[in-house]
With several copies, the nearest count.
Chain A
Amino acid sequence: MTDKHKVLLTIPMYPDMELTAAKTGSVIAELMSFNEGQIEEIQLAIIETCINAFEHSQSRDNQIVIEFIMKDNELEFKITDQGVGFKSTSKHTAPKKNVYSDLRKRGWGLEIIKTLMDEVEIKTGTNGTTVSIVKRKTV
């Protein structure tokens, strides 16, 4: 894989900036001939990952770097912040689904990403977090 197939985007942590990332991903996915539904899924995954970084990373430089890697049959995107990382105590579990108050509680972002994408890998530490996501053209 050469740099020929990489796009790098740096956005500030700023309301609505996740849309810039999502739209950039959308055009790349379109050029790769993903279908409409998959393009929407990719946009959602980018949006949720960026919002998580905005909300939880406490990053000092207030920036997110997104690396898009176009492969023959899949799009990989790595979303990196230089924040404080995931709290080691908060093991992530999917929220319960039965009661409104549970429903309303946040905690759906990662769940949505995992459902819509083919691979999700989180590397996190006190120097920051990288969420690597793979979406394949055919499931």
Chain B
Amino acid sequence: MKKALNIQIREAEEHAVIEMEGYLNDSLGEELSEEAHTLIEKGYTKLVINLEKTSLINSIGISILIEIIESLDEHEGTLNFCGLTSTQERTFRMMALAKYAGIFPDEKAAIANL
């Protein structure tokens, strides 16, 4: 129930998209992490995280995003982000997240570049 409210998963043939709503802190981050790992276990190695509806991301939330990148990397997968505000993008670049994951303006571009 809780998951249905905050996190949406869209599974396609080759990739899956995760979209979250609200404040990405430790608790929403844990839900996200679970969803991502379920997708990876299902065999998805190409993921997009859509942050359009994610209003705020704290540093714990970012650490969790990094963990997901790491897990995907172990499966030789790719992660792309989309829907970031300019402040979020700035923070991601500062934390070198952008080195290991793509940042795209919209979901279409993020999927196309997986």
Contacts and interface: CB of A to CB of B under 8 A. Distances in A.
Interface of A: 15-16, 18-19, 22, 37, 40-41, 43-44, 47-48, 51, 97-98, 100, 103-104, 106, 108-109, 111-112, 115-116
B59 A40 contact: no
Contact of A100 (B56, B59, B69, B91): B69
Contacts of A48: 58-59
Nearest to B26: A15
A47 B56 contact: yes
Contact of A103 (B27, B85, B91, B95): B95
Contact of B87 (A97, A104, A116): A116
A contact face: mostly helix, strand, loop, or mixed = helix
A112 B96 CA distance: 12
Given A37-B85, A47-B56, A100-B73, A111 B94 contact: yes
Interface stretch (B8-16, B37-45, B60-68, B106-114): B60-68
Nearest to A48: B59
Interface in B25-77: 25-27, 56, 58-60, 62-63, 66-67, 69-70, 73
A103 B66 contact: yes
Interface of B: 23, 25-27, 56, 58-60, 62-63, 66-67, 69-70, 73, 85-87, 90-91, 94-97, 99-100
A133 B52 CA distance: 28
Pick the most buried of A40, A97, A111: most chain B CB atoms within 10 A of its CB. Answer: A40
Given A100-B73, A112-B59, A40 B66 contact: no
Given A15-B27, A97-B95, A108 B59 contact: yes
B74 to A, nearest CB: 10
B48 to A, nearest CB: 20
B73 to A, nearest CB: 7
B89 to A, nearest CB: 10
Contacts of B100: 100
A44 to B, nearest CB: 7
Nearest to B70: A100
A41 B60 CA distance: 16
Given A44-B58, A47-B56, A104 B63 contact: yes
Nearest to B99: A97
A106 to B, nearest CB: 7
